[in-house]
Copies of this chain bind each other. A is one copy, B any other.
Amino acid sequence: MTKNGDPLLDENFQILHQFLVNHYSFPDRDSRHVFNKFQFVDVKKNTTLHQQNQICEYAYFICQGCVRTFFTNRKGEENTRYIAFENNFVSAFSSFITQTPSLENVQTLENSKLLKIKQSDFFSLVNHHATFSKLYLHSLEQAQVISTWRLETMLSMTAKERYRDLLERMPQIVLRLSNKQVASFLGITQESLSRLKARK
């Protein structure tokens, strides 16, 4: 899985390590015990990491690449709920937290290098390591901030305003992903997005 069997020497684990040190004052001595719970996976673009209606068993830390969560409504259209890039954890969180069947799918949008961790291991870290309890709380709070923002844009802006706002707030989504994905995130059709970009 890792290059030489020792996570501490693997560059992907280094990325996670650095992330924990930078944002959650991760203490060095815990390294091995913590990183043993993570497993490296290298997956192609458009890989489904989690299917809706299943109970979500893993959370993923993105070392490289891009992952989205989306649900398919009764008309069969896909609605993107969240898009994450490098240095973020991603999962079907309501299901991951409550261990009930999820409403959403989790899928890569680029070839991605991920570190996955089982639900039980994750919560054992959350319960026993200050670093991870901070990380968990912070993630819940951040998720709330982003949900609130998106709901606000949906309630109060036109498609064009939402596009401009997205370009400002999460430029990576617009710059790295296809129109199809951007449109799905904005809650409009590809055609509308194309037109809206044309008339500046």
Contacts and interface: CB of A to CB of B under 8 A. Distances in A.
B152 A154 contact: no
Contact of A154 (B71, B93, B145, B151): B151
B187 A155 contact: yes
A1 to B, nearest CB: 32
Identical chains bound together, number: 2
Interface residues of A, number: 28
A5 to B, nearest CB: 36
Contact of A94 (B79, B97, B141): B141
A170 interface: no
22 contacts: A71-B156, A73-B152, A73-B156, A73-B157, A75-B156, A79-B155, A79-B156, A94-B141, A97-B141, A103-B152, A104-B148, A140-B140, A140-B141, A140-B144, A143-B144, A144-B147, A147-B148, A147-B151, A150-B151, A151-B151, A154-B154, A156-B187
